[in-house]
């Protein structure tokens, strides 16, 4: 715990409560987000890593952390307090934090409902069609929102990566995404899974009247690439090859041991380099499952490039980080931004949130600096008094231009 309490901006006594509904609600990212939100709201820790707590986002009307109420879907049954204890034992959460925020973890755990369908289930799973699954999930979200008396709910997918579908059926991530829209909720896909990026969901996304964002949160190796790629381009240095290796533990490592799931993950990493360099360089990203690493990850990059008169040079980087601690503050940012966008009446894809994603929809910039500029301009439009008249129309998850949401 911090020696001196950090006191966040106090919430107005009349501030409405907002729901955050996690897909993968008992996973490491969701658990860290719930525990971290409670810790910051109580002044136990500073909001390190939360972009929305920096001065550029002051007075944007974002919901205070103390107003967030958590629930979600999951297919596992480990209670959140127990999960938090495991994370603290692994060094992900500070020692003593699980007990300090036990009440908040328990309250969130009471709002977690069974997910599905499980891998290997045919059609929509035992006894249910896909549309019935969507109805069940949407009913769970509506019930949560109504019982808790919430002003609205944001649904955020933080579940393990699934392989891309090989047929026309909707994978679980798409069932949850459809349920979010059917329940009238803003939706964020923090994973590389399909979610709303499915042709069958395009009409629903277009007609839903809610904002949505994604996909695949940018927390480590790709974050660094989105900074270094523009550097090489702006200095006119010719990148000949860019190869990388990821060592992952925990659930991510196991999920990405599936080549199909790894392919979905790597697509976003490759897009960043192609967009910032003008063409995809030689080289691939290899993902290795190392269970002993737990929630920690190591990413190595080897960049071969040419300088003046063909002088050959190399840049090597090592990124070592805790995935849940990197992702959780961004998830809280996205919940607040999506909720405010919904409150302001914005609909459709929130392309200005590309700052947070490896594979954002639309043709916005891939450079982190340019993405941050778009994000701060979006924040200006969220302020009271902004009319949002410069918001551009978006074409949806598979469209070509969705850098602004619709009004």
Predicted pLDDT of residue 257: 66
Q: What is the CATH number of domain 18-217+325-382?
A: 3.40.50.720
* Stretch 309-329: mean pLDDT: 97
DSSP state of 401: -
Report the C-alpha gap between 353 and 304 in whole angstroms: 31
User: Residue 318: which pLDDT band, with cuts at 50, 70 and 90?
Assistant: very high
Predicted pLDDT of residue 121: 59
Burial 145-171 (b: 16+ CB within 10 A, else e): beeeebbbbbbbbbbbbbbbbeeeebb
How do residues 2-60 score in pLDDT, each as one tens digit? Answer: 334 454 545 554 689 999 999 999 999 999 999 999 999 999 999 999 999 999 999 99
Judged against a pLDDT cut of 90, whether residue 304 lies above it is answered with: yes
Q: For tokens 């392989």, what's the residue? A: 163
* Stretch 392-400: mean pLDDT: 46
Q: Does domain 221-322 have CATH number 3.30.360.10?
A: yes
For the chain, give the percent of residues with pLDDT over 90: 76
* Stretch 210-238: mean pLDDT: 96
How do residues 238-293 score in pLDDT, each as one tens digit? Answer: 999 999 999 988 766 666 666 766 666 667 678 889 999 999 999 999 989 998 98
User: Residue 1: which pLDDT band, with cuts at 50, 70 and 90?
Assistant: very low
Report the C-alpha gap between 50 and 326 in whole angstroms: 10
Report the C-alpha gap between 337 and 343 in whole angstroms: 10
Of 86, 82, 90, 80, the closest CA to residue 38 belongs to 80
Judged against a pLDDT cut of 50, whether residue 109 lies above it is answered with: yes
In sequence order, which ranges of 55-199 are alpha helices (DSSP H)?
80-89, 97-100, 102-110, 130-147, 172-182
| Residue extent(s) of CATH 3.40.50.720 domains in the chain | 18-217+325-382
Predicted pLDDT of residue 265: 63
Identify the three-state secondary structure at position 36.
helix
User: Residue 102: which pLDDT band, with cuts at 50, 70 and 90?
Assistant: very high
Predicted pLDDT of residue 270: 80
Least confident of 32-46, 68-82, 153-167: 153-167
For the chain, give the percent of residues with pLDDT over 70: 85
Question: Any residues with CB less than 8 A from the CB of 276 and at least 6 apart, and which?
Answer: 225, 226, 229, 230, 233, 366, 367
User: Residue 181: which pLDDT band, with cuts at 50, 70 and 90?
Assistant: very high
| Residue extent(s) of CATH 3.30.360.10 domains in the chain | 221-322
Report the C-alpha gap between 403 and 400 in whole angstroms: 9
* Stretch 176-186: mean pLDDT: 98
Predicted pLDDT of residue 167: 85
H or E, element range at 70: strand 68-74
Calculate the alpha carbon distances from 9 to 53, 112, 255 in Å.
9, 29, 38
Judged against a pLDDT cut of 80, whether residue 103 lies above it is answered with: yes
Report the C-alpha gap between 255 and 248 in whole angstroms: 10
Judged against a pLDDT cut of 50, whether residue 95 lies above it is answered with: yes
């Amino acid at each position: 715990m911090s020696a001196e309490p950090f006191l966040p901006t106090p919430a107005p006594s009349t501030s409405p409560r907002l729901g955050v509904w996690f897909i993968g609600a008992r996973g490491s990212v969701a658990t860290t987000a719930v525990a971290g939100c409670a810790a910051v709201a109580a002044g136990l820790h500073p909001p390190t890593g939360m972009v929305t707590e920096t001065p550029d986002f002051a007075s944007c009307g974002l919901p205070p952390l103390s107003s967030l109420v958590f629930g979600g879907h999951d297919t596992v049954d480990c209670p959140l307090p127990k999960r938090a204890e495991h994370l603290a034992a692994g060094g992900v959460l500070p020692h003593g934090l699980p007990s300090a925020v036990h009440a908040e973890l328990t309250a969130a755990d009471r709002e977690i409902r069974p997910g599905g369908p499980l891998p290997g289930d045919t059609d929509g799973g035992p006894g249910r069609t896909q549309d019935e699954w969507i109805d069940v999930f949407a009913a769970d979200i509506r019930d949560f929102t109504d019982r808790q008396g919430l002003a609205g709910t944001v649904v955020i997918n933080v579940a393990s990566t699934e392989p891309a579908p090989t047929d026309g059926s909707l994978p679980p991530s798409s069932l949850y995404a459809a349920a979010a829209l059917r329940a009238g909720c803003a939706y964020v896909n923090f994973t590389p899974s399909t979610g709303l990026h499915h042709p069958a969901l395009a009409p629903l996304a277009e007609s839903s009247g809610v904002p949505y964002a994604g996909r695949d949160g940018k927390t480590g190796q790709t974050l660094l690439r989105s900074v270094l790629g523009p550097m090489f381009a702006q200095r006119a240095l010719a990148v000949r090859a860019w190869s990388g290796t990821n060592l992952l533990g925990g659930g991510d490592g196991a999920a990405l041991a599936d080549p199909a799931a790894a392919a979905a993950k790597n697509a976003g990493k490759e897009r960043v380099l192609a967009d910032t360099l003008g063409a995809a360089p030689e080289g691939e990203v290899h993902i290795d499952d190392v269970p002993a690493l737990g929630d920690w990850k190591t990413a190595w990059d080897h960049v071969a490039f040419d300088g003046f008169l063909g002088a050959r040079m190399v840049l090597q980087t090592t990124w070592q980080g805790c995935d849940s601690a990197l992702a959780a503050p961004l998830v809280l940012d996205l919940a607040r931004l999506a909720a405010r966008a919904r409150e302001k009446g914005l609909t459709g894809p929130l392309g200005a949130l590309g700052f947070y994603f490896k594979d954002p929809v639309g043709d916005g910039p891939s450079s982190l600096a340019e993405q941050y500029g778009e994000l701060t301009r979006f924040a200006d439009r969220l302020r009271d008094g902004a009319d949002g008249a410069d918001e551009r129309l978006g074409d949806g998850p598979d469209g070509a231009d969705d850098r602004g949401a619709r009004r």
